[in-house]
Amino acid sequence: MFKRISALMLAGLTAMSVAACGSGGGDTSANTGGGGDSTITMGFSQVGAESGWRTANTKSVQDAAKNAGITLKFSDAQQKQENQIKAIRSYIQQKVDVIAFSPVVESGWDTVLKEAQNAKIPVILTDRAVDSKDTSLYKTFLGSDFVEEGRKAGKWLVEEYKSAADPVNIVELQGTTGSAPANDRKAGFQEIIGADPKFKIIASQTGDFTRAKGKEVMEAFLKSNPDIDVLYAHNDDMGLGAIEAIEGAGKVPGKDIKIITVDAVKDGMQALADGKINYIVECSPLLGPQLMDLAKKVVKGEQVPARVVTEETVFTQEQAKQVLSTRQY
């Protein structure tokens, strides 16, 4: 009897330590309701809570899991790759049915993805890509075309300055170093503006997708560059932090310095409607429902497309005024 109780206690403790090991800064498990396929358990490793976009994405995933009747084991990696790897290993040990994650950076995933493959647990990439050559390591990648987002930002700038003869001095606030959106938004933007030598990126640095870092880096840009014409920020949050820095330096955001950002979260859209941002390229965080549909198919062994690209638009100041009151996030 004692032996049985001890064995049960040991099993319980083991289960608890596995869950704790995978947490990397906050691991929760939620079931659901919703009717639907309650036999599926998904392990989801989120990047963190660095931006308004990320908060909206987390809510979308959690709500969609609930509506689909999928049990969600959720962990927040606090922007650290090692936490995501720990979480994925924990999900493998827990024998979840499917693992989904948004990789904080593009490189360094092959070993852990191979472990998931060996355990026969399908993996779905959501929001961000990995640079693994072996694409059999994951079933599908759901998310935005970040290169195209960068191109859209560049096209607006080229149009805005089409009759300017003088050089256009641009500063760039990059997203998290090594992340797919930082790499791709830079590349897409450069591809478009690179065709005309008058566009000059005079400073470019990471602001890690956060408001605080965006402000800090913009303050440094302003100190060392008296003649900034344009700020290109890889997300709204860094742009909003930069606006504080620009105002602190006695300049008028949107006029003295034109600002282009990516995301279109509510705070960004408010600043666009207020004339402090000039143009926003949308990146939709509402990936949850599509993710749950893909997860159900993948678990059943059905074919899914290798790439599912999110539909997105762009916003001018006038368009922001029109849609602001109905913006969901």
- Any contact of residue 209 with ligand AHR (CB under 6 A)? yes
Q: Which of 263, 271, 276, 315 is close enough to bind ligand AHR by CB under 6 A?
A: 263
Would you count residue 50 as binding ligand AHR (CB under 6 A)?
Answer: yes
| Interacting residue with ligand AHR among 154, 181, 214, 253 (CB under 6 A) | 181
Which parts of 220-259 interact with ligand AHR (CB under 6 A)? 235, 237
Q: How far is the CB of 180 from ligand AHR (least distance, A)?
A: 7
Q: Judged by CB under 6 A, does residue 54 bind ligand AHR? A: yes
- To the nearest whole angstrom, how small is the minimum distance from the Cβ of residue 262 to ligand AHR? 6
Specify the residue, 127 or 172, whose C-beta has the smaller distance to ligand AHR.
127
Which residues have C-beta within 8 Å of that of residue 119, sequence separation ≥ 6? 92, 95
**Minimum gap (Å) between residue 285 Cβ and ligand AHR:** 7
Does 22 interact with ligand AHR (rule: CB under 6 A)?
no
Q: Using the rule CB under 6 A, is 283 a contact of ligand AHR?
A: yes
Instruction: Closer to ligand AHR by CB, 32 or 58: give it.
Output: 58
User: Is there binding between residue 208 and ligand AHR (CB under 6 A)?
Assistant: no
Taking CB under 6 A as the rule, does residue 262 contact ligand AHR?
yes
Handedness of CA 232, 217, 170, 191 (dihedral sign): negative
**Cα separation, 267 vs 191, whole angstroms:** 29
Shorter beta-carbon distance to ligand AHR: residue 161 or 209: 209
Cis peptide before 177 (omega within 30 of 0): no
3-state secondary structure of 209: coil
Of 45-53, 86-94, 163-171, 191-199: span binding ligand AHR (CB under 6 A): 45-53
Q: Containing H/E element for 261?
A: strand 258-263
164 vs 278: CA distance, rounded Å = 17
The full DSSP string for 100-156 is EE--SSSSS-HHHHHHHHHTT--EEEESS----S-GGGSSEEEE--HHHHHHHHHHH
Which 117-176 positions form the footprint of ligand AHR (CB under 6 A)? 127-128
Whole-angstrom distance between the N-terminal and C-terminal Cα of the chain? 55
Stretch that binds ligand AHR, among 49-57, 186-194, 290-298, 315-323 (CB under 6 A): 49-57
310 Cβ contact list (under 8 Å, min separation 6): 142, 143, 144, 145, 283, 284, 287, 290
Q: Give the binding site for ligand AHR (CB under 6 A).
A: 50-51, 53-54, 127-128, 181, 209, 235, 237, 262-263, 283
